[in-house]
Structure 1
């Protein structure tokens, strides 16, 4: 219903549309009209633009949405197509929202509708016009929402889901497996469904687009917070590996990370340093086993004690007494490690995280 839609957003949309049209050199006689008024049923569109582009008639049929999440955008596209089947034939359907993510823009293209957001991203195509504009950046509300989704506690849920993307999880079952509250699982599930990355079926919550989730996470990734220790050891190669195998018998938790984890998961890029996540007892055990000393300069062993132990809980055993971070965590760390990390991340993803689209 029209009365449920934010009039402020619709007014802002009208302003953005007029400014957008004013910047098109070949467009003339633009007439922008709000379609319907507050209190009346929403028949599927909000704004109609009649104009001429390069001398030819151009009509835009526009639906405005308060948010540009992919599921909302898909529904808006269905509204537009339904309206056009019943009322008009020669027009360009367009979705307008405060912000449209890359995925939401892709949905618009898949559904055969144009788009415009308040950030300036735009795509309008017909027989007489083709406009495409992509601008970097995200509005602060979207950045906050994504930061919340990828916080350490929420990340526990995401890692568990990405381990078995096709599996359906009951809420309580997933909460227990991830070591978080049922309420948090519900919030994460809602955020994933809103972005069409997951669905809720009779079998439970399952991912529908793990690739999009991992892409977004890597773009917004923040390494686990914690204290970093830089050490030096004279051990390397097989000798270091043998010490790591003996380490498993000590108290504490230790997992190879980043380039060092990738050497076991998907060898591709060699790195002179050895990387770990560990708890405090694990750090002490590492220092003793590797005969490693603190060395601010010339360090070749980097150990992070994370404030939240999700990365350790998600670690996996890849060989006898050799524990590494999961493929997802290793991928995220590699992408943001600099050096040749992106190359290593791409190879790891090709081998272990290549999910059907």
Structure 2
């Protein structure tokens, strides 16, 4: 037992040492970023970036000479730039900066700060710098602001992970009733995913301040911001895209579609999608091509009912046979026998469709997804 205790103590010590080394490395990178930023400001004659003394509640102190006057910047360095963590750090940083005489200029630094995290810094009137290149530092006659489009690979993976198929099933349920509070078990049942996966999605949403947890459960706090983020990271559902031609049009085509889309007892699925779904949900100019999502059984039914033939060119029906069937769980019926992707899914598909879909997407959002802020 004694040998095991020594092993655990040694392992714990090594982990602490590694964590300390990572913190020092991050602070060194933060100091380099601040130096590079200030070096380009002509009115700053001299400056020095130093580690803050122990117990000062900040990580870096920058002493500089601005037109013959001494100025002080105090910097807090954090390894996480999610809005929830940023907010707590900003409150502390403001308090520390105001304790100096005269007050110091507070600067928040992290490996990456999203637009939401940057907006928080502006709200608290705290400067910010991230290691990707985004920055905003203002004091006296100095005004520095830089914006870059790059995101670290780990951040890109994190941003996309919350919109992957299983997570997307949870988001569709939440966006269907943005004002509703959800217990984890109820949300798992409604979305058809595991309790653990719902918990992971909940944590991501709370960290990004897109949702909040109260006594009655999880509730979206910013559905519009969530939809914006989803649109920016959106990847269409995976599946095989197949193009066909049908001689049906007008009412005969509508009747044939209704006979196929209403297949609750058959075990197969087919729904209108993209521009075709938008035509029933929020009309904004009709396009000649019909777009559908289907599973294998739904494709067979569509081919039969619409008398479709494969088309190498001139297709007027496009069917995507989905690998994941989560989209079907959120289908809506805007008219008897007409099943479509939900307003949220339709909006995302339209926004992804390029310029001709952008206006239709905006129209649908104004009509059906204009939640109270």
TM-score class, shorter: over 0.9
Q: So what's the TM-score if we normalise by structure 2?
A: 0.90
The alignment covers a number of residue pairs equal to 352
Note closer, same or farther for the CA distance 1:248–1:331 as it changes in structure 2 (3 Å cut).
Answer: closer
1:20 paired with 2:62, answer: no
Q: What is the distance in 2 between the residues matched to 1:283 and 1:319?
A: 21
Q: So what's the TM-score if we normalise by structure 1?
A: 0.94
**Preserved CA contact (<8 Å) 1:49 1:60:** yes
Superposed CA deviations along residues 193-214 of structure 1, whole A, max 9, x for unmatched, are: 1111111111111111111111
Q: What is the distance in 1 between the residues matched to 2:102 and 2:306?
A: 73
1:190 paired with 2:240, answer: no
Note closer, same or farther for the CA distance 1:88–1:225 as it changes in structure 2 (3 Å cut).
Answer: farther
Instruction: Give the deviation of 1:68 after TM superposition.
Output: 0.8
Q: What is the distance in 2 between the residues matched to 1:307 and 1:17?
A: 47
Superposed CA deviations along residues 201-232 of structure 1, whole A, max 9, x for unmatched, are: 11111111111111111111111111111111
Note closer, same or farther for the CA distance 1:130–1:292 as it changes in structure 2 (3 Å cut).
Answer: same
Q: What is the distance in 1 between the residues matched to 2:322 and 2:297?
A: 13
Aligned match for 1:7, one of 24, 40, 59: 24
Q: What is the distance in 1 between the residues matched to 2:308 and 2:199?
A: 44
1:333 paired with 2:346, answer: no
Query: In the alignment, what sits opposite 1:100?
Result: 113
Equivalent residue runs for 1:120-269 within 5 Å:
120-250=133-263, 251=266, 252-269=268-285
SS in 1 for 2:99: helix
Query: In the alignment, what sits opposite 1:30?
Result: 47
Instruction: Give the deviation of 1:189 after TM superposition.
Output: 0.5
Q: What is the distance in 2 between the residues matched to 1:57 and 1:343?
A: 53
Query: In the alignment, what sits opposite 1:69?
Result: 82
Compute the RMSD of aligned alpha carbons. 1.8
* Rg comparison, structure with higher value: 2
5+ residue gaps in structure 1? none
SS in 2 for 1:340: helix
Superposed CA deviations along residues 37-60 of structure 1, whole A, max 9, x for unmatched, are: 4xxx4x432111121345554322
1:349 paired with 2:362, answer: no
5+ residue gaps in structure 2? 1-18
Q: What is the distance in 2 between the residues matched to 1:84 and 1:92?
A: 6
**Preserved CA contact (<8 Å) 2:261 2:271:** no
